[in-house]
Amino acid sequence: MTPPALEAYRASARSWLAASAPPPLPQDYRLRTEALREWHSTLYRSGWVGIDWPRELGGQGLSLEHALIFIEESARAGAPQPFGAIGLHVVGPTLLRYGTGEQLARFVEPLLSGKEIWCQGFSEPDAGSDLASLRTRAVLEDDEFVLTGQKIWTSWADDSDWCAVLARTDPDRAQHKGISYLLVDMKTPGVTVRPITQITGDAEFCEVFFEDVRVPRSNLLGPLHGGWELAMHTLGHERSGYALRRRAELEVSYRNLLDAIRLGDSGPDVAVRIGAAYVTLRGLSALSRRAVRRARNGEVPSPLDSVDKLALAKGEQQLFGTALDLLGAHRAAPLTEGTSLDGEQIVKDYLHGRAASVYGGSEQIQLTIVAERLLGLPRMR
């Protein structure tokens, strides 16, 4: 049973969202990012950002359950998430846990307010799934690191002010033991960003090149050569945190799909597929409740994050695959005649969903983690 205080918070969130008129998002990528930035600022000024962050650092000092309620109500209202989601939900928790007092004072307020947007510089052309083999180097010279290398699939790097970069700082140590976690100003000389246009038509992903980029030693997060632990913390929040938010959005998409079709006129096969999607989403909901309990108890990262990630990818691809098939010959139409199925948006959601098997760690890597760390199967040679 939900405590009365949480129900009151839900009612407050629902009332605010109804009165605030969340903006519709343009299909054009550049216009959409501008609308998301403005929405982030609105949320921050109204006290809906950093809900479960410490009050002394500018957050609201509430629980993760409160934050999840606002995510759910935002999805139901058709409201977008803040533009700085990577900072808030991926890099931010690691900054909170490992940051020094000076780092917290410098970075937290601009991150929460959306004045500074963050990206995540982990994957490389030859080190995507095998992150420990990354080649980007950072050589310590006096009080600065000299950073050289390349990152890829860096979401929103072209719009970001800061990047959380994994770099090899001790090439003589075992792969995962010689890595450090650096906070890099994207305006530093030597940083080059090249957007990559995806199959959806958006240019969200980017290549990032570092050529003798000088990073102050004070921007080292955590211990020197000890960045692997921080990387796993960040990835754990990326997998579990994103699953919490995306699950709420998928449930809204599912209800919209039900509203747009008549199962009685669609045949038994459609009914079976709609039912299968419902079962998958119910499973995701159960995993979300477990993820909240784990996060509250400090059990992130965990191999269970990989289970959440796998289930999310299945649910996303199953739901939008069904929706795409229902569109049939109308896939190219912005709005399918006689229904509320938005063909253009469903196609984009379907194409974006194909990436769910890769982003945040590929499906094969997640299955290996589950096999070895949860099921105790022998390590692959």
pLDDT above 70 (res 1): no
What pLDDT does 211 receive? Answer: 98
Q: Provide the mean pLDDT of the chain.
A: 88
Q: Is residue 112 part of a domain?
A: no
Query: What backbone torsions phi and psi does residue 224 show, to the nearest 5 degrees?
Result: -60, 135
Range with the largest mean pLDDT of 204-218, 247-261, 283-297: 204-218
| Same domain flag for 329 and 235 | yes
Task: Write out the H or E segment, with its range, that includes residue 238.
Answer: helix 227-260
Both tokens of 342, joined, read 């938005």
The alpha carbons of the chain give a radius of gyration, in whole angstroms, of 21
Q: Is residue 154 part of a domain?
A: yes
Residue showing tokens 């699950």: 247
Q: Is residue 131 part of a domain?
A: yes
For residues 21-39, average pLDDT: 89
For residues 307-326, average pLDDT: 88
Q: Which CATH number do you get for residue 72?
A: 1.10.540.10
What pLDDT does 273 receive? Answer: 84
What pLDDT does 264 receive? Answer: 43
Range with the largest mean pLDDT of 190-194, 268-272, 328-332: 190-194
- Least-confidence region, from 125-134, 148-157, 317-326: 125-134
Q: Is residue 352 part of a domain?
A: yes
Q: Omega before 301 cis (within 30°)?
A: yes
Q: Which CATH number do you get for residue 298?
A: 1.20.140.10
| Same domain flag for 244 and 323 | yes
For residues 95-124, average pLDDT: 96
Range with the largest mean pLDDT of 213-217, 240-244, 314-318, 323-327: 213-217
For residues 83-97, average pLDDT: 93
Higher pLDDT pick, 343 / 102: 102
pLDDT above 70 (res 334): no
What pLDDT does 169 receive? Answer: 97
Q: Is residue 110 part of a domain?
A: no
pLDDT above 60 (res 92): yes
- What does each C-alpha distance from 121 to 131, 184, 277, 364 come to in angstroms? 11, 9, 34, 21
Torsional class of 77: left (φ above 0), alpha (ψ -120 to 50), beta (otherwise): alpha
HSE (CB half, 13 Å, CA atoms) of 193?
Answer: 24
| Same domain flag for 186 and 145 | yes
Supply the pTM of this predicted model.
0.87
Q: Is residue 98 part of a domain?
A: no
pLDDT above 70 (res 77): yes
| Same domain flag for 158 and 279 | no
For residues 69-74, average pLDDT: 93
What pLDDT does 115 receive? Answer: 96
Rounded distance between C-alpha atoms, residue 236 and residue 225, angstroms: 20
| Same domain flag for 240 and 221 | no
| Same domain flag for 194 and 215 | yes
What pLDDT does 15 receive? Answer: 97
Q: Is residue 89 part of a domain?
A: no
Rounded distance between C-alpha atoms, residue 216 and residue 381, angstroms: 40
Residue 226 is classified by DSSP as: B
Residue showing tokens 């499906």: 363
pLDDT above 90 (res 13): yes
Q: Is residue 296 part of a domain?
A: yes
| Same domain flag for 30 and 122 | no
- Least-confidence region, from 92-101, 143-152, 178-187, 234-243: 234-243
252 CA to centre of own chain: 18
Can you name the residues that pair with 206 across neighbouring β-strands? 195
pLDDT in tens, 222-275: 999 999 999 999 988 887 777 778 888 898 888 888 877 654 455 567 778 888
Residues 6 or more apart from 102 whose CB is under 8 A from it?
218
What pLDDT does 200 receive? Answer: 82
| Same domain flag for 35 and 151 | no
HSE (CB half, 13 Å, CA atoms) of 288?
Answer: 26
- What does each C-alpha distance from 351 to 123, 152, 333, 342 come to in angstroms? 21, 19, 16, 14
Selecting among 72, 204, 238, 249, the annotated active-site residue is 238
Q: Which CATH number do you get for residue 190?
A: 2.40.110.10
Structural domain of 181? 118-225
What pLDDT does 198 receive? Answer: 85
Rounded distance between C-alpha atoms, residue 291 and residue 297, angstroms: 10
| Same domain flag for 367 and 350 | yes
pLDDT in tens, 140-173: 999 999 999 999 989 999 999 999 999 999 998 8
For residues 320-336, average pLDDT: 71
Among residues 225, 258, 279, which one ends one of the domains? 225
State the SS3 of 58-114.
Answer: CCCCCCHHHHHHHHHHHHHCCCCCCCCHHHHHHHHHHHHHHCCHHHHHHHHHHHHHC
Told to judge if 65 belongs to the known catalytic residues of this protein, a careful annotator would answer no
Rounded distance between C-alpha atoms, residue 354 and residue 313, angstroms: 8
Beta strands in 142-253 (DSSP E): 144-151, 162-168, 179-185, 191-196, 205-216, 220-221
What pLDDT does 329 receive? Answer: 62
pLDDT in tens, 33-55: 999 999 999 999 999 999 999 99
Among residues 190, 225, 260, which one ends one of the domains? 225
Q: Into how many domains does the chain fold? A: 3
What pLDDT does 268 receive? Answer: 62
Higher pLDDT pick, 380 / 84: 84
| Same domain flag for 49 and 178 | no
| Same domain flag for 153 and 167 | yes
308 CA to centre of own chain: 13
Rounded distance between C-alpha atoms, residue 323 and residue 317, angstroms: 10
| Same domain flag for 263 and 221 | no
What pLDDT does 309 receive? Answer: 87
For residues 280-293, average pLDDT: 87
